[in-house]
Structure 1
Amino acid sequence: MLKINRENLKTSHQLIWFVIDFLMLGLLILNLTLIIFDSIYSFAAIEQFLAQQVPAFNDLYKPVHANFLFYDLIFVAIFLTEFFVRWGYAIKARIYDRWYFYPFIHWYDLVGCIPVGSFRFLRVLRIISIIYRLHQYRIIDVTQWRLYQFCAFYYEAFLEELSDRIVIKVLSGVQSEITLGSPLFERIQNDILVPRKAMLTEWLSDRVSRAASEGYMPKRGELRVYLENRVDHALKQNLELSRLRLLPMVGPTIQETLEDAVGDIVANVIHQILEDLASSANHAFIEDIVEVVLPQPGDHEAPEIRNEALIALINEIIEAIKTQVQVKHWRSDLKQPNAETAAAKE
C-alpha cells in the first residue's frame, strides 16, 4: 500500500509539483495498462473470446482499438505539456547551468512519448523517475514496499555471489604468483612487511604477552601440579633412577629427593618462561623471531626455508580471507525471516 508522508509533503515547498507527479503517475499507469491490454486484444483469439463472453464490452472497446493511436496521442500530449512546463520552470529557477540541459538529462521522458511500438513501454522509465523523486524527498518510502525488498534482496545476493567469485579468483591468482616466485612476493616482503617490522614486533609482543598473562597466570597452580605429576611419572619409568631404591637405608630417600627436585626445576623453568612472555621482556625475543622471518632487503644469505615459511604464512592468510569471502551472508538473511515466522507461529 502506498503511504504518503503528509508532513514532508507540506514542508517540501513543492506541493504543486508533487501533486503533478502523482497525477502523472496515475496517468502513466493507466496509459501503460491500456497499451498492454490493447496489445493483448490484437490477438484474434482474444478478440473472439471477448466477443463471445462479453459482447457489450467488446463492442465498446472495438472502436477504441481501431483508433488507439488517437487515444494514445492524447496521453502523449499531456505528457509533453508537463515536460515543457517543467523545462520552463527549470530555466526560470536556473536549476541547470544551461537552458538546454533539461531535455538531455530527462531524455527518457521524450523517448517514452514516441507513440510507436516498443518506445511506448519506455514510459516505465518515467514512472521510475517519479517514484525515485518522491522517495528522494521522503514523500514516500520505497524501501518499505515488499516488491522493493524482494528485488533488493536478490540483487544483493546476485552481487555478493558475483563479487565473491571474482575476489576468490583474484586471490587464487595471487597465491599462484607468490608460489611461483613472482616479483609480487618480493614486493610484499620488502615494500609492505619489512617497513612495518617494528609494528609487527610490537603487535606480536602484545599478543603473546596477553595470551601468556590471561591463559597462564590464572591457572599457574594447576599447571605446576600437572607438570610435577608428569615429571614424577616420567622419573618412575626411568630404569636407572629406580635402581637407587636398591641402596640400603638411603635409596628411597635419594629417589624421592631427586623426583621432587627435578619436578620443581621443570615447573620453575616453565613458570619463568611464561612469566617472561607475559611481561614486556618478551619484546627482544619476538624481535629476534621477526628478524629471522623478515630479513632486510638485499639479504641474499637468508636461507630459502625462511622464504618458504613466509610464503606459507601469506598463503594461509589469503586462504583465511577466501574462507571468509565464501560465507554467504544472503543465505543467513534468507533464513532469518523464516525463523522469525516460525517463532511467531509458536
Structure 2
Amino acid sequence: MFTLNRANLKSSHQVVWLIIDFLMLGLLIFNLALIIFDSIYSFEAIQNFLGAHVGPFKEAYDPIHKNFIFYDLIFVGIFLTEFVVRWTSAIITKVYARWYFYPFIHWYDLVGCIPTGGFRFLRVLRVISIIYRLHKYNIIDVTKTRVFRFINFYYEAFLEELSDRIVIKVLSGAQNEINQGSPLFDRIQNKILYPRREMISDWISARVAQAAEEGYVPNRGALRSYLENRVDNSLKQNTELSRLRFLPVVGPTIQETLEEAVGDIVADVIHQILDDLASTRNHAFIEDIVNVFLPNPEHQDADEVTNEELIKLLDEIIEAIKKQVRVKHWRKAL
C-alpha cells in the first residue's frame, strides 16, 4: 500500500490539484473495477450463477448492465470536465508555449475517455500518470510497494537480458571482423593513436612524474636504507667477494669498503632514476618509449607474428568481456 506523506501534502503549493488527483484516482479505480465486472457479467453463466445465489443483486444490476454505456458516460463526463479545467489552468498560467500543446502532451487522458471497446481499459494510463505525479511531488512513495518492486525486478531483468544479447552480438561481430583480417589495428594505430603521440607522451610523462613524486619522495630515506641492506646481504652471500677477507692485513678492509661503495652506487643510481622520473626530465625517455610502440606508419615494417598475437590477445579480451556480460545479475536477487 502507498504511504501518504501528509507533511509534503500540506507544504505543497498545489494542494488543490493534488486533492483532485486523489479524487480522480479513486473514481478511475472504481470505474475500471466496474468495467471489468461488467465485462465478466456479460457471460450468461455468470448471470445464471448470480441469479441462483444472489438474485436481488442480479435484479439490481441488470438495468446497469443494459445501460452501461450511459453510466460509463457519467464517468467520462467527469474525466473530461477535469481535463478541460486543467487545460484552462495551463493556458492561464502559461505552462506550455502554445495553448493547444496540452491535449497533445496529455493524450493518454483523452484516449481513455473514448467510451467504446478496449479504449476504456486505457484509463489505466491515467491512473499511472496520477500515481507518477503524486510520487514526483513526494506525496506517496511507490518504490516501497510490492507491486513496484515486482514490476521493477522483472523490468530490470528484461533490460539486462536484452542489453546482454545486444552487447554479445556486437562483440561477436567485432571478433569475426578482427579474425577475418579487419584493418581495425591499423586504423587505431595510424589514424587515432599516432596523430596523438605528443599528447600521449605528455600525459604518460605527467602521470609517471606524479606517481614517482608521491610514492618516492616521502619514502626516500626508507628506500635508501632498504636498498643498502639488500645490497649488503647480496654481497655477503657472494662467494668471490667473501674470499677477499683472507687477504693478509688489508683483506677485511677492502671487503668492507667494496660493500659500502657498491651499496652507495646502487642506491645513488636508483635514486637518480627515480628523481628523473619524478621531474620533467622523464619526458624524453617516455617519448622514446611511445615512439617505439607507435612508429611512423610510413616507416613501420609489417610484422605478421606480432599482428597475430595482438589479434589473439584482443580476441581473448573480448571473449572474457562476453563471459562477464553473460552473468545474470538479476538472478542473484532471487
> TM-score when scaled to structure 1?
0.70
CA distance in 2, matches of 1:207, 1:61: 80
Are residues 87 and 241 of structure 1, via their aligned partners in 2, closer, same or farther at CA, if it must alter by over 3 Å?
closer
Give the SS at the match of 1:216: helix
1:268 lines up with 2:268 in the alignment: yes
> In structure 2, how many angstroms separate the alpha carbons of the residues matched to 1:323 and 1:221?
46
Paired amino acid for 1:186 = D
Kept in 2: contact 1:6–1:139 (CA 8 A): no
**Correspondence for 1:198:** 198
1:188 corresponds in structure 2 to 188
**Residues 224, 267 of structure 1: 8 Å contact kept:** yes
Letter in 2 for 1:230: R
Cα 1:96–1:33 change in 2 (3 A) is farther
Displacement after TM superposition at 1:72 (Å):
2.8
Secondary structure of 2:280's counterpart equals coil
Give me the whole-angstrom Cα distance separating, in 2, the residues matched to 1:78 and 1:125.
Answer: 17
Query: Which residue in 1 is equivalent to 2:254?
Result: 254
Q: What aligned pairs does 1:107-146 form with structure 2 within 5 A after superposition?
A: 108-109=108-109, 111-130=111-130, 138=137, 146=145
3-state SS, counterpart of residue 281 of structure 1: helix
Q: Cα distance 1:258–1:302, how it changes in 2: closer, same or farther (>3 A)? A: farther
Equivalent position amino acid for 1:296 in 2 = N
Q: Distance in 1 between matches of 2:42 and 2:327?
A: 50
RMSD of aligned alpha carbons? 4.6
The 2-side partners of 1:41 and 1:191 are apart by 71
Does the CA-based 8 Å contact 1:90-1:96 persist in structure 2? no
Q: Shift in Å at residue 293 of structure 1?
A: 0.7
Give CA deviations for 1:304-323 in whole Å, capped at 9, x if unaligned. Answer: 67767877897798789889
- Structure-2 separation of matches of 1:73 and 1:254: 112
User: Does structure 2 retain, via aligned residues, the 8 Å contact 1:69–1:115?
Assistant: yes
Structure 2 residue 35 is matched with structure 1 residue 35 = yes
- 1:9-51 deviations in Å (ceiling 9; x for gaps): 559xxx6x87766654443322211111223334556545545
Please, which moves more after superposition, 307-316 or 244-253?
A: 307-316
Q: Which residue of 1 aligns with 2:230?
A: 230
Which whole-Å CA distance do the structure 1 matches of 2:55 and 2:223 have between them?
A: 95
Once residues 324 and 299 of structure 1 are traced to their aligned partners in structure 2, the CA distance between those partners, rounded to angstroms, is: 39
Alignment-mate amino acid for residue 293 of structure 1: F
Cα deviations by residue, 1:47-84 (Å, 9 ceiling, x for unpaired): 45545554443442243334434433443455566667
Query: Alpha-carbon deviation of 1:284?
Result: 0.6
Offset of 1:288 from its aligned partner? 0.5
How far residue 283 of structure 1 moved from its aligned partner, in angstroms, is 0.8
SS at match of 1:213: helix
Mean Cα deviation higher: 208-217 or 139-148: 139-148
Q: Contact 1:293–1:306 at 8 Å: present in 2 too?
A: no
Contact 1:113–1:123, Cα closer than 8 Å, also in 2: yes
AA aligned opposite 2:275: E
Looking at structure 2, the residues matched to 49 and 73 of structure 1 have their Cα atoms a distance apart, in angstroms, of 28
Residue 281 of structure 1 is matched in structure 2 by 281
1:207 pairs with 2:207: yes
Q: What letter is aligned with 1:287? A: E
1: CA distance, partners of 2:266 / 2:42: 96
Any residues of structure 2 matched to 1:74-89 within 5 Å, and which? 74-79=74-79
TM-score, structure 2 normalization: 0.72
Q: Which has the higher contact order (CA 8 A, sep 6+)?
A: 2
1:166 aligns with 166
Structure 2 equivalent of residue 297 of structure 1: 297
Amino acid at match of 2:268: N
Partners of 1:270 and 1:313 in 2: CA distance: 34
